[in-house]
Amino acid sequence: MNAGDFDNLVSMYSEEALLFATFDGQPLDTPSLIQGYFRSFFAKEGPGVELNSSSVRHTELGESTYSSTGLYTFFFQDDGQLIRHAARFTFIFNQDISGPILHHHSSLIPA
């Protein structure tokens, strides 16, 4: 995401992926909805994410299927002011397929 490579980012999602996005209240369950969500985020000034690598946990769920959970912080500029949103995530992915992300749930951490 931080590289700004939209095509590479959305290609990581399976055609059947489900995204519960940080900044969208509806489940995003089609490639066009997922692309629209990230297109909107990339339209912000200086968008990015910081991974809290010490919080990340990986669990093998089955052959080539894993979950990753942890914390990250989204950031962008709004009227010249840096905005930061701490969030938590869960990814389920299959490393043997093109578009390995099967499920992605991200939500803001309550204050």
Tens-place pLDDT, residues 28-70: 999 999 999 999 999 999 999 999 999 999 999 999 999 999 9
Question: What pLDDT score was predicted for residue 3?
Answer: 87
Please tell me the pTM assigned to this model. 0.93
Selection from 57, 89, 58 nearest residue 73 by Cα:
89
Where residue 40 sits, what CATH number does that domain have?
A: 3.10.450.50
Query: Which residue range forms the structural domain that includes residue 65?
Result: 6-108
CB-based contact 77:46 (threshold 8 Å): yes
- Concatenate the DSSP letters of all residues of the chain into one string: -TT--HHHHHHTEEEEEEEE-TT-SS-B-SHHHHHHHHHHHHTSEEEEEEEEEEEEEEEEEETTEEEEEEEEEEEEEETTEEEEEEEEEEEEEETTSSS-EEEEEEEEPP-
In a domain, 90, yes or no: yes
Count of domains observed in the chain: 1
In a domain, 44, yes or no: yes
Question: What pLDDT score was predicted for residue 10?
Answer: 96
In a domain, 1, yes or no: no
